[in-house]
């Protein structure tokens, strides 16, 4: 690393505890966490309700919708400003999230969760990219603990969610979501959150500045 690390991106398998790790890492560093905040920021820019935007998070527009959209000539489908929510879709959300990620990189001192952020910031100085994974058994345990009413579908939901994440990255960045080359560090969450944080701080050289107010 040629410059001090100012951005850490955290990509994660569903159920690996990666989002929880990102939250705790940001708290440890005193940095801003950008997870659902990316979607909320995109919603504000588009002028649509945050819950409306959340419906498109980590998803793709159906093929028939994408096909039909090429015939639309409505200027409201711009990615630069407010629009009616009937024109808000996955493609627009991810165009705006991409801008949110690039703006975060300018501001620095952020932990950014998923949504192709490692690829969006690939090669940017001062950025460090981590990928969090876990065994299927560990992910099923996490799912069953958090969604006991749906425990019977744990493995199906885990696989489906990660397929959607991979499809989003392929669609909007034309890259493989879990390709190791995108990441500086791969962490198995079985080592525990504290160990994951210590490993990340050591790899980034951030031990010296953790918990210092910015």
Q: What's this model's pTM, rounded to 2 decimal places?
A: 0.82
Beta sheet of 32-34, edge-to-edge order: 32-34, 110-113, 7-12, 127-133, 185-188
Q: Do the Cβ atoms of 138 and 193 come closer than 8 Å?
A: no
Whole-angstrom Cα distance, residue 158 to residue 118? Answer: 21
- Give pLDDT tens digits along the chain (214 positions): 467 999 999 999 999 999 999 999 999 999 999 998 998 888 888 888 878 777 777 665 443 334 344 444 444 444 455 444 446 677 888 888 899 999 999 999 999 999 999 999 999 999 999 999 999 999 999 999 999 999 999 999 999 999 999 998 998 899 999 999 999 999 999 999 999 999 999 999 997 665 454 4
Superfamily of domain 7-204: P-loop containing nucleotide triphosphate hydrolases (3.40.50.300)
């Amino acid at each position: 690393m040629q410059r001090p690390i100012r951005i850490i991106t955290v990509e994660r398998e569903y159920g690996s505890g990666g989002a929880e790790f990102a939250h705790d890492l940001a708290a440890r560093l005193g940095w801003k966490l950008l997870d659902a905040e990316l979607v909320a920021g995109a919603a504000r820019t588009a002028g649509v309700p945050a819950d409306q935007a959340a419906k498109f998070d980590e998803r793709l527009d159906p093929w028939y919708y994408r096909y039909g959209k090429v015939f639309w000539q409505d200027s409201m489908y711009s990615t630069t400003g407010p629009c009616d929510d009937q024109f808000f879709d996955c493609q627009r959300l991810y165009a705006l999230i991409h801008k949110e990620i690039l703006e975060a990189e300018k501001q620095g001192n952020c932990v950014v969760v998923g949504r192709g952020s490692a690829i969006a910031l690939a090669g940017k100085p001062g950025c460090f990219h981590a990928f969090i994974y876990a065994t299927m058994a560990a992910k099923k345990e996490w799912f069953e603990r958090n969604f006991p009413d749906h425990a019977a579908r744990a493995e199906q939901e885990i696989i489906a969610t990660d397929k959607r994440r991979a499809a989003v990255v392929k669609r909007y960045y034309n890259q493989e979501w879990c390709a190791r080359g995108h990441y500086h560090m791969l962490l198995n969450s079985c080592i525990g959150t504290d160990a994951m944080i210590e490993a990340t701080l050591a790899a980034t050289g951030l031990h010296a500045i953790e918990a210092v107010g910015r």
